[in-house]
Amino acid sequence: MIDAVYATSMRTTLTLDDDLAGILEEKAREMGMSFKEVVNRTIRAGLGEPARRRRGPAPRVIPHSFGFKPGIDLDKLNQLADELEVDAAAEKWQRQAGDPSRRKRSRARS
């Protein structure tokens, strides 16, 4: 007879189908649990074992409004940051090209 021991844990890599990973992530959000905890509970349920109780209270999620104005596409913020960075670099290069004291002087080889 083998007694199940849950005090130890094993780290392993598990490849999940995209749809299954999405379902598990959604369950984790709904239940206020970590992804790891939901995966473990789901596997235990599939094996017919009872789920272990949570050690502490579920974390409390407080929604926050970021104050973005309507019409701002939040998915494009990284693109905007990249464009602004390129514009700033171009301005810097133009200033350096126009300032003769910043130009590199060629060294005469002996």
pTM: 0.40
* Three-class SS state of 71: coil
Per-residue pLDDT of the chain (110 residues; tens, 9 = 90+): 444 545 567 788 889 999 999 999 999 999 898 999 999 999 988 888 776 676 777 778 888 877 777 777 777 888 888 899 999 999 988 888 876 655 555 555 54
Among residues 37, 39, 35, the alpha carbon closest in space to that of 53 is found at: 37
Q: Is the dihedral of CA 22, 23, 29, 34 positive or negative?
A: negative
Q: Please give the Cα distance from 103 to 94 (Å, whole number).
A: 12
